[in-house]
């Protein structure tokens, strides 16, 4: 039997071109490291995880077959050290490295160092990485390959005066961009000469500090732009195919938030033209492995080359869901010398997929990052229509040292609306406690009429959420349904000492028609409940409306799954005192189920006023108080800097919102702060 198992494993690791790798090291962390491990296990390949001090108990470390410690928590002292990764490969006997995305994934020096050590790089060759890594040179190559490019000046601009001359020639508005840029850094839009001068200076400074390269160029700014990218896969034998497109227009500060495949905007003719141009560019640099060619598309479906990412993209799962292909598996096989097992005509498009990036951040506080322990963490159940890629687990930590991504939530459906509707329910099923998260914001996006209509641009969030995200942006609640859910939950539970415990009623008992008053956010909703606990079927009457509920919920479960009037609904239910906190479609409601007499008495209870914090400067996030710029008794003006709080390696300057006098300093430089901790008190 053991010999048979060994033979099967050997067969799994053999390709037409020769044996696949026995062991692969993943030079990354978090969800993408876990994602690569998953494909390696499917192929019967052993994996090696590298980790920093902060990641000693990380999920990718737990899931890998071997692990190697590579240094302190900051990525510059661990994940970005090429020699440490090469040393780890030699130590473990790893024959290949998958770089994931970010970190060293697009560093030609890394590919060269691995090649020198005779270790395979699961990605393109250094030539392609270099050619596509420079935005100026990549656009020149694109032009030579016949790829449509944005009109502009594809050369480094020496000074602000020259920038103005070029901007006038190109025609306003223009985009000033760092040549070595990425992640939205070193980018400025200018509509006139003054903005061009200011934008040139700021983009140059930002580019120098972020990339140690202050070269910037200018191109025409496409108004009402959509960000649409083509996924490629190419082998080392001259074969290259495109795997349709992804729409990534929903962005906040140039960072993608929602991605979908295919695009709701492209027609077959445009899709084919974009795909063929992307393939032409890849072949021009003899590209090998998975890669993505990004385009800006205007309202007339004219498309322009933006850049090529020579790595696996964060949003690759939506492509996998509509094609049925495993991109990581293909990358591994291509790196081992295999030919692609299919041609362009074989790539089918099946349905629609949507991805939402779930982050540990507070959307109600201008998306400030949130760190800490995941006290509770439950993902939606995986299936053919739901996929979750994550690198965290319940009880784990969201570290201040890295990107605060919790997970990538993906849904699939036959149509775009079906995929969006499944996403809305899946977001309700995502149960996270202990850190703030952006699920309310994602829920608001999924419910937004303009998003559902597919009328997208890269300015969508800036236009639809002016002034920031607030509770007013959440989808409207059906208060009657929430009241009915609260009453049903109460019927299936009994309250003792503020804790919800299983009811002492016989499980066969029928709930006779009971009059209840649900205090929903302190507003009374009178209703009647009739049902059978054994069958989990209830009818809730509110005025002339009757709401039918079928559920298998039991006390202690955080998610109330039900069919309400025939429609699948999920509500998160947390015990709060003698009531419930219900979370649905990003919003929350406090519910207290009372008898009519109890409701009469409850109405007489005084409402406790919220504390007045207007005289205090509070910390908007957990972090380190880097500096305090004022002293007691000092007068300050509106807009004046008061303190700097450092979190997630970013400095956040806190300023006075009005004129005033400093009365008391409640914290000093070097203190660790929690959310809403007092820093300064005003007179």
pLDDT tens-digit map of 203-217: 998 888 777 788 999
> Mean pLDDT, to the nearest integer, of 391-400?
94
Backbone angles phi and psi of 99, in degrees to 5: -90, -5
How does pLDDT run across 398-445, given as a tens digit for each residue? 998 999 999 999 999 999 999 999 999 999 999 999 999 999 999 999
Asked whether the bond before 173 is cis by omega within 30 degrees of 0, the reply is: yes
Q: Tell which wins on pLDDT, 2 or 369.
A: 369
150 pLDDT above the threshold of 90? no
Nearest-angstrom CA–CA distance, 239 and 78: 36
> Mean pLDDT, to the nearest integer, of 635-641?
88
Q: CA of 308: how far to CAs of 293, 326, 396, 492, in Å? A: 4, 21, 35, 56
Taking a C-beta distance cutoff of 8 angstroms, is the pair 663, 632 a contact?
yes
pLDDT value of position 583: 97
pLDDT value of position 383: 95
Specify the 3-state DSSP secondary structure of 513: strand
Query: Which residues of the chain form CATH 3.30.1490.20?
Result: 151-220
Nearest to 573 by CA among 683, 482, 446: 482
Residue 155: which pLDDT band, with cuts at 50, 70 and 90? confident
pLDDT value of position 499: 39
Output the average pLDDT for the chain. 91
17 pLDDT above the threshold of 50? no
Nearest-angstrom CA–CA distance, 72 and 557: 39
Give me the CATH topology for the region 479-602.
Glycoprotein, Type 4 Pilin (3.30.700)
Taking a C-beta distance cutoff of 8 angstroms, is the pair 153, 219 a contact?
yes
| Residues ≥6 apart with Cβ < 8 Å to 339 | 16, 17, 235, 237, 239
How does pLDDT run across 83-105, given as a tens digit for each residue? 999 999 999 999 999 999 999 99
Taking a C-beta distance cutoff of 8 angstroms, is the pair 120, 335 a contact?
yes
What percent of the chain lies above the pLDDT cut of 70? 93
pLDDT value of position 514: 81
Backbone angles phi and psi of 128, in degrees to 5: -70, -40
Q: At what angle do helices 108-116 and 126-133 cross, to 10 degrees?
A: 170
Tokens found for residue 590: 């406090």
235-239, 396-400, 634-638: which has the highest mean pLDDT? 235-239
Query: Which residues of the chain form CATH 3.30.470.20?
Result: 226-473
614 pLDDT above the threshold of 90? no
Specify the 3-state DSSP secondary structure of 265: coil
Query: Which residues of the chain form CATH 2.40.50.100?
Result: 616-682
Q: Tell which wins on pLDDT, 162 or 650.
A: 162
pLDDT value of position 510: 55
Backbone angles phi and psi of 253, in degrees to 5: 55, 45
pLDDT value of position 233: 98
| Residues ≥6 apart with Cβ < 8 Å to 101 | 28, 32, 311, 312, 313, 314
Give me the CATH topology for the region 2-122.
Rossmann fold (3.40.50)
Specify the 3-state DSSP secondary structure of 43: helix
CATH of domain 226-473: 3.30.470.20
Taking a C-beta distance cutoff of 8 angstroms, is the pair 240, 282 a contact?
yes
pLDDT value of position 198: 93
How many other CB atoms sit within 10 Å of the CB of residue 485? 29
pLDDT value of position 658: 87
pLDDT value of position 494: 63
> Mean pLDDT, to the nearest integer, of 17-24?
78
pLDDT value of position 620: 84
pLDDT value of position 512: 63
| Residues ≥6 apart with Cβ < 8 Å to 387 | 317, 321, 409, 410, 411, 412
Residue 184: which pLDDT band, with cuts at 50, 70 and 90? low
Tokens found for residue 313: 């993209």
Radius of gyration of the chain (CA): 28
User: Can you give the length of the chain in residues?
Assistant: 683
CATH of domain 151-220: 3.30.1490.20
Tell me which residues are annotated as active site: 307
Q: Write out the E strands in 235-360.
A: 240-252, 255-261, 289-297, 303-309, 352-359
What percent of the chain lies above the pLDDT cut of 90? 78
Taking a C-beta distance cutoff of 8 angstroms, is the pair 232, 241 a contact?
yes
pLDDT value of position 500: 44
pLDDT value of position 226: 97
Give me the CATH topology for the region 616-682.
OB fold (Dihydrolipoamide Acetyltransferase, E2P) (2.40.50)
Nearest-angstrom CA–CA distance, 210 and 218: 19
pLDDT value of position 144: 93
Which residue is listed with tokens 């933006």?
306
End-to-end CA distance of the chain: give it in Å, rounded: 81
Residue 1: which pLDDT band, with cuts at 50, 70 and 90? very low
Residue 622: which pLDDT band, with cuts at 50, 70 and 90? confident
Question: Interior CA angle at 302 toward 301 and 305, to 5°?
Answer: 120
Taking a C-beta distance cutoff of 8 angstroms, is the pair 75, 400 a contact?
no
456 pLDDT above the threshold of 70? yes
14 pLDDT above the threshold of 70? no
State CA 22 to chain mean position distance.
32
pLDDT value of position 269: 97
Specify the 3-state DSSP secondary structure of 102: coil
DSSP H stretches of helix in 125-284: 126-133, 135-144, 160-170, 193-211, 268-284
> Mean pLDDT, to the nearest integer, of 254-259?
94
Taking a C-beta distance cutoff of 8 angstroms, is the pair 637, 623 a contact?
no
Nearest-angstrom CA–CA distance, 282 and 128: 8
Asked whether the bond before 176 is cis by omega within 30 degrees of 0, the reply is: no
Specify the 3-state DSSP secondary structure of 39: helix
Region of residue 410 (left: phi > 0; alpha: psi -120 to 50; beta: else): beta
Backbone angles phi and psi of 377, in degrees to 5: -150, 110
pLDDT value of position 504: 39
How does pLDDT run across 302-359, given as a tens digit for each residue? 999 999 999 999 999 999 999 999 999 999 999 999 999 999 999 999 999 999 999 9
In this structure, the strands spanning 46-52 and 23-26 are parallel
2 pLDDT above the threshold of 80? no
> Mean pLDDT, to the nearest integer, of 368-384?
93
Which residue is listed with tokens 């030699």?
90
268 pLDDT above the threshold of 50? yes
pLDDT value of position 19: 62
Per-residue exposure over 160-176, b if at least 16 CB sit within 10 Å of its own CB, e if not? beebbebbeebeebbbb
Q: At what angle do helices 82-92 and 108-116 cross, to 10 degrees?
A: 30
pLDDT value of position 393: 97
15 pLDDT above the threshold of 80? no
Cα dihedral 454, 282, 155, 216 sign: positive
Containing 275, the helix (H) or strand (E) segment is: helix 268-284
pLDDT value of position 509: 53
Residue 154: which pLDDT band, with cuts at 50, 70 and 90? confident
DSSP bridge pairs for 233: 241, 290
Question: Interior CA angle at 237 toward 231 and 242, to 5°?
Answer: 15
DSSP code at position 66: E
């Amino acid at each position: 039997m053991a010999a048979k198992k060994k033979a099967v494993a050997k067969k799994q690791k053999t390709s037409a071109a020769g044996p696949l790798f026995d062991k692969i090291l993943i030079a990354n962390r978090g969800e993408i490291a876990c994602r690569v491990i998953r494909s390696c296990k499917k192929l019967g390949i052993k994996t090696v995880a590298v980790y920093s001090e902060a990641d000693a108990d990380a999920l990718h470390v737990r899931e890998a077959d071997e692990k190697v410690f590579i240094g302190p928590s900051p990525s510059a002292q661990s994940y970005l050290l090429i020699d440490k990764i090469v040393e780890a490969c030699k130590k473990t006997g790893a024959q290949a490295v998958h770089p994931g995305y970010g970190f060293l994934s697009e560093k030609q020096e890394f590919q060269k160092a691995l090649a020198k050590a005779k270790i395979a790089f699961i990605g393109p060759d250094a030539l392609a990485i270099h050619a596509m890594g420079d935005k100026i040179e990549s656009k020149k190559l694109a032009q030579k390959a016949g790829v449509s490019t944005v009109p502009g000046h594809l050369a480094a601009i020496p000074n602000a005066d020259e920038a103005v001359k070029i901007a006038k020639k190109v025609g306003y508005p223009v985009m000033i961009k760092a040549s070595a840029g990425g992640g939205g850094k070193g980018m400025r839009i200018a509509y006139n000469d003054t903005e061009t001068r200011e934008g040139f200076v700021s983009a140059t400074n930002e580019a120098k500090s972020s990339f140690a390269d202050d070269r910037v160029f200018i191109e025409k700014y496409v108004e009402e732009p959509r960000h649409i990218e083509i996924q490629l896969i190419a082998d080392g034998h001259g074969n290259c195919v495109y795997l349709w497109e992804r729409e990534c227009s929903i962005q906040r500060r140039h960072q993608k938030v929602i991605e979908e495949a295919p695009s709701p905007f492209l027609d077959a003719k445009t899709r084919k033209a974009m795909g063929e141009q992307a393939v032409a560019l890849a072949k021009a640099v003899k590209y090998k492995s998975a890669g993505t060619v990004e385009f800006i598309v205007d309202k007339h479906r004219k498309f322009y080359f933006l850049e090529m990412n020579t790595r696996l993209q964060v949003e690759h799962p939506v492509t996998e869901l509509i094609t049925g292909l495993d991109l990581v598996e293909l990358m591994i096989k291509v790196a081992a010398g295999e030919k692609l097992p299919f041609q362009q005509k074989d790539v089918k498009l099946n349905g629609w997929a949507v991805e939402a990036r779930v982050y540990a951040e507070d959307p109600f506080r201008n998306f400030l990052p949130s760190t800490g322990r995941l006290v509770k963490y439950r993902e939606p159940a995986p299936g053919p229509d739901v996929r979750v890629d994550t690198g965290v687990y319940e009880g784990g930590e969201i570290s201040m040292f890295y990107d605060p991504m919790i997970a990538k939530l993906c849904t699939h459906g036959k149509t775009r609306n079906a995929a969006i509707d499944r996403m809305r329910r899946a977001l309700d099923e995502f149960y996270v406690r202990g850190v703030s998260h952006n699920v309310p914001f994602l829920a608001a996006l999924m419910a937004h009429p303009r998003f559902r209509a597919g009328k997208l641009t890269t300015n969508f969030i800036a236009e639809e959420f002016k002034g920031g995200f607030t509770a007013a942006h959440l989808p409207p609640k059906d208060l009657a349904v929430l009241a009915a859910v609260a009453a049903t939950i109460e019927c299936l539970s009994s309250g003792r000492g503020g804790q919800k415990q299983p009811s002492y009623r016989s499980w066969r008992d029928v709930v006779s028609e009971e009059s209840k008053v649900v205090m929903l956010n302190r507003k009374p909703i009178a209703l009647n409940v009739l049902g059978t606990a054994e069958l989990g079927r209830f009818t809730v009457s509110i005025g002339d409306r009757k709401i039918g509920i079928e559920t298998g919920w039991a006390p202690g479960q955080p998610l109330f799954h039900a069919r309400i009037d025939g429609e699948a609904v999920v509500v998160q239910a947390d015990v709060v005192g003698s009531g419930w906190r219900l979370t649905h479609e990003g919003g929350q409601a406090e519910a207290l189920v009372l008898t009519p007499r109890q409701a009469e008495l409850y109405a007489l209870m005084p409402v406790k006023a919220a504390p007045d914090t207007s005289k205090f400067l509070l910390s908007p996030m957990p972090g380190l108080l880097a500096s305090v710029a004022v002293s007691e008794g000092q007068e300050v003006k509106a807009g004046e800097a008061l303190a700097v709080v450092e979190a997630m390696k970013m400095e956040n300057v806190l300023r006075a919102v009005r004129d005033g006098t400093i009365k008391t300093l409640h914290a000093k430089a070097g203190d660790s702060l929690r959310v809403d901790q007092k820093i300064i008190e005003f007179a």
